[in-house]
Structure 1
Amino acid sequence: MKILTITGYKGGCGKSVTAIHVATYLSALGDVVLVDSDPNRTSLSWANRGQLPFTVVDERKAMKVVQGRDFIVIDTPARPDSSDLKELAEGCDLLILPTLPDIVSLEPMLQTAHDLGEANYRALLTIVPPKPSREGEAMREELRSNGVPVFSTMIRRTAGFQKAALAGFPIRDLTGRDRMGWLDYDSLGSEILEAIGR
């Protein structure tokens, strides 16, 4: 069993979208449960509107359903403090930290990295503006130059995610240009497997 935890130091950084799409990617490789412990219950709401290729439960029911699963993805509340962060990191195989590619997000991300120390984690740049903007690349290089492990893959901003959420499906199940965001999560999935030794 591999446990992946997705957390962020603020809301609106694509945390639940990432949890859903990481779970979607992993569902092609085994039995997945997504534990929604975010008070907003975004993942549960998404699942209730349509159909996702994995089980979604809130944390109160998690103990009943996690046994025997291949992968557990945990969508946490936003804004964990430093002691919560350490506990989250120790309780999983990989901690994923979605972050926006803006200067306001840089300092909190650097503080988070400092708090985590040697834990197995990666920053993930999300809601990245399309080219010709270079905000994503600039933020990724800034994080790397400060010693923060960061995924090479960046998740671009696209209206497809809102359409997928409304339909209750992963973006993978949309068509045409609306599906473009899946290419990013598919690429991210390969990096995650490498990070957890699969």
Structure 2
Amino acid sequence: MDKKIVTITGYKGGVGKSTTAIHLATFFSEKGKTVLVDGDQNRTTLAWSKRGSFPFPTVDERQALKVVADAFFVVIDTPARPDSDDLKELSKGCDLLILPTKPDIVSLEPMLEMVKDLGDTNYRCLLTIVAPHPSKEGVTLQQELIKGGIPVFKSMIRRTSGFEKAAMEGVPIRDVKESRLRVAWRDYTALGKEVLEILK
């Protein structure tokens, strides 16, 4: 398989962009050599990795060229709020662009603006920080996006305090020693499988 590049970006912070980059890279690392490139000014993924360890290298964009050469999967965490020209360049430079959004109007509106700028490129919206069952807000919004012709993942990432715990320990949620957090890892496993299907 050729090298696959997945980029995660958004017009708004706090929507699980870096968390998604880390957990997709964790999923891919089970399939082949993976590198996570932290292009965000906040360096969230690098800081997270330094508190513990990831099953893949995490580098900033200045070191990326050296490290990605023999990787099967490259996951790029970009700065939030790219302008429309940057966005088009980001979409051209990857195999799939992922746009995380929370299921609320404050997060959704910037994401819909972004979609207008993207036009006909290979992207998918991802609903993150979704209230768990019995709330139906995630499913309702997912159906609205589909009706509006916006490509959206079937998988949704449910809200859990486990991600904060994982960040404090410096590991992906998969490696936190609490069985109740397996559900959160299953959300990202389902997403990873969907991404692999799209990349085929």
Q: What is the TM-score normalised by the length of structure 2?
A: 0.96
Query: Equivalent residue for 2:24?
Result: 22
Map 1:19-168 to 2 at 5 A. 19-168=21-170
Aligned residues: 197
Give ranges in structure 2 of 5+ residues lacking alignment: none
Give, as a single letter, the amino acid of the residue that structure 1 aligns with 2:162: G
Q: Secondary structure at the match of 1:54?
A: coil
CA offset at residue 70 of structure 1? 0.4
Q: Answer yes or no: is 1:190 the counterpart of 2:193.
A: yes
Q: Secondary structure at the match of 1:63?
A: helix
More strand per residue? 2
Partners of 1:160 and 1:180 within 8 A in 2:
no
Give ranges in structure 1 of 5+ residues lacking alignment: none
Separation of aligned partners in 2, 1:49 and 1:105: 29
Q: Secondary structure at the match of 2:155?
A: coil
Separation of aligned partners in 2, 1:142 and 1:104: 16
Q: Which of 184, 193, 199 is residue 181 of structure 1 equivalent to?
A: 184
Identity of aligned residues (%): 63
Partners of 1:110 and 1:143 within 8 A in 2:
no
Partners of 1:160 and 1:179 within 8 A in 2:
no
Give, as a single letter, the amino acid of the residue that structure 1 aligns with 2:164: Q
Give, as a single letter, the amino acid of the residue that structure 1 aligns with 2:74: I
Give, as a single letter, the amino acid of the residue that structure 2 aligns with 1:35: V
Give, as a single letter, the amino acid of the residue that structure 1 aligns with 2:190: S
What is the aligned-residue RMSD (CA, Å)? 0.9
Q: What is the TM-score normalised by the length of structure 1?
A: 0.97
CA offset at residue 130 of structure 1? 1.2
